[in-house]
Structure 1
């Protein structure tokens, strides 16, 4: 057993745990999936697909923005959300069984 060791750097493990805690909700995973498909979406576009209350969606988006998973860009009257790190979309592949953990 002496050759057994943790293969991931401690900082990477801490970041992974931080991100996984943030996305550990079906709505947030759905938001990631939608932003992978369209790259930039407004709150109303996301709300139309998810069919949830705007206040609940805003809560999730604010949480994800505070944690650095999404950011915003204003275009005229609209605020578009986008993923800050598209590698998080790998979680969708894992959930769908396309990749093995």
Structure 2
């Protein structure tokens, strides 16, 4: 057996743990999935697809924005949400590819 070592630098591990804690909820993972499919969405558009109360969706989006996962852009009267780092969408591919879920 060869020498074992940590293959990912500490800073990347800390960021990964932080992001995973921030998105560790089915609604938040669904939001990421929606924003992967359509880069910018309003709360109303997401609410229509997710079929949850607007207040609950807004709570999750505010938390994700505070943690730097999503951000907003005003377009006329609408506020559009988008992912700040699209590499987080890789989590959806991992979930879909795992046979144990």
TM range (shorter): over 0.9
Q: Does 1:96 align with 2:80?
A: no
- What is the rounded CA distance, in whole Å, between the counterparts of 2:79 and 2:97 in structure 1? 33
Matched, 1:64 2:85: no
- Where structure 1 has 5 or more consecutive residues not aligned to the other structure, the ranges are none
What corresponds to 2:78 in structure 1?
A: 78
Query: TM-score with structure 1 length normalisation?
Result: 0.94
TM-superposed CA distance for 1:41, in Å, is: 0.1
Deviation at 1:3, TM superposition (A): 1.1
User: Where in structure 2 are the equivalents of 1:1-101 lying within 5 Å?
Assistant: 3-97=3-97
Number of residue pairs aligned between Structure 1 and Structure 2: 98
Moved over 2 A (4+): none
- Measure the CA separation in 2 of the matches of 1:84 and 1:3: 37
Q: CA RMSD in A?
A: 1.2
Q: CA deviation at 1:88?
A: 0.2
Secondary structure (helix, strand or coil) at the match of 1:73 reads strand
